[in-house]
Amino acid sequence: MAGTVRRLGYHWHLRRLMAAHDMWKTTELTPLLRERGVNLSPAQVYRLVTDIPERLSVKTLVALCDIFDCTPNDLLEPYVEAARRPAAAGDAAVVELRNELRPQRARIIDPDSGEH
């Protein structure tokens, strides 16, 4: 029987926080991070602002919180959405598919017996 699994995600609000602090270019963030010991390339800072990061070091998170005088909750907004669980081996759809693909029994004939 198909059920649901919890699919987790998050909204990344760095761009919104930058705008609230009158910061419109990603290049403005680089020196502020560097002052806090976080050395990222311009491309890394651009991706941090424009994309939703898959991984984020705690040091970078703390630096962003310090720069924008905020908490991690202001940067990350987690959410949960229900998703259908894929069919399990015992589910009817899987069993039906397996019966449909079942091989037929082979008949072995002894070539010396004369039977064709």
CATH of the domain at 56: 1.10.260
Phi, psi of 52 (to 5 degrees): -90, 115
17 in any annotated domain: yes
Q: Which pLDDT does position 62 carry in this prediction? A: 97
Q: Which pLDDT does position 116 carry in this prediction? A: 58
Alpha-carbon gap, residue 50 to 30, rounded angstroms: 14
Q: How many domains does the chain have?
A: 1
DSSP β-bridge partners for residue 33: none
105 in any annotated domain: no
Asked whether 8 and 78 are in contact (CB, 8 A), the reply is yes
Alpha-carbon gap, residue 108 to 93, rounded angstroms: 33
What tokens were used for 51?
A: 């994309």
Domain that holds residue 63: 4-83
Q: Strand locations in the chain, DSSP E?
A: 4-12, 76-84
pLDDT tens digit at each of 116 positions of the chain: 456 778 888 999 999 999 999 999 999 999 999 999 999 999 999 999 999 999 999 999 999 999 999 999 999 999 888 666 665 555 555 445 455 555 667 777 777 776 65
